[in-house]
Amino acid sequence: MGESASALIRESAWGEYVRRCALRDENALAALYDQSSQLVYTIALRILRDEADASEVVVDVYKQVWDTAARFDEQRGSAASWIVILARSRAMDRRRYRATRIQATANLADFSEPISPLPCPERLAITGQITASVTRALAAVPSEQREALELSFFAGLSHAEIADRLGEPLGTGKTRIRLAVGRLRELVRDSV
């Protein structure tokens, strides 16, 4: 018997096994596995170059055959082609997953020590000192300058909105903010 006749017999048998898998015939899945698993393993091993990953791909392929056999359409291709495509697809998925996992592991290795969402005690102490210093300095700024500065920085108002809110000309509001920032800078620098 020639190679093409053997391929036709194989195609016919594998197609029949897939149809029987759609009917939930476990013996058909076992027969299909026995006849085609070496092909699936070879494809997976060639793509992944790892025996353990290739073996997992084989399991994934036959699970997918079992789960989706009812949707297999012989009009779109042979059972052998379908199994080869499944093997390649699952192997490529695993290769992408492995690359992502390796990248994630490499990124984790960049961190020399655990990162806590809580600030360290030193940072809390420094922040507390800076906050106290700025609060004292802000209290020492004249009230009309402080009000313009607070509307700008804390309320997020534009210069025109501040002028409207204070009932002052635009230039006066800008000047008050500039003077307040200058005074704060001096006071904070002197306290540090």
Q: What is the pLDDT of residues 10-63, one digit of tens each?
A: 888 999 999 999 999 999 999 999 999 999 999 999 989 999 999 999 999 999
Q: What is the pLDDT of residue 182?
A: 86
CATH code of the region 121-191: 1.10.10.10
- Rounded to two decimals, the pTM is 0.52
* In the block, residue with structure tokens 């006849």: 35
Element (DSSP H or E) covering residue 78: none
Of 42, 65, 63, whose CA–CA distance to 54 is shortest?
42
Q: What is the pLDDT of residue 191?
A: 65
- Domain residues of the chain, as ranges? 3-109, 121-191
Helices and strands (H, E) in the chain, number of each type: 8, 0
Q: Are 149 and 181 in contact (CB under 8 A)?
A: yes
Q: Give the pLDDT confidence of 125-184 residue by residue, as tens digits.
A: 666 676 677 778 778 888 888 888 888 766 778 888 888 988 999 898 899 889 988 887
CATH, domain 3-109, list 1.10.1740.10, 3.30.70.20, 3.40.50.1220, 3.30.2420.10:
1.10.1740.10
Q: Are 187 and 140 in contact (CB under 8 A)?
A: yes
Write the DSSP symbol of residue 119.
P
DSSP 120-177: PHHHHHHHHHHHHHHHHHHHHS-HHHHHHHHHHHTS---HHHHHHHHT--HHHHHHHH
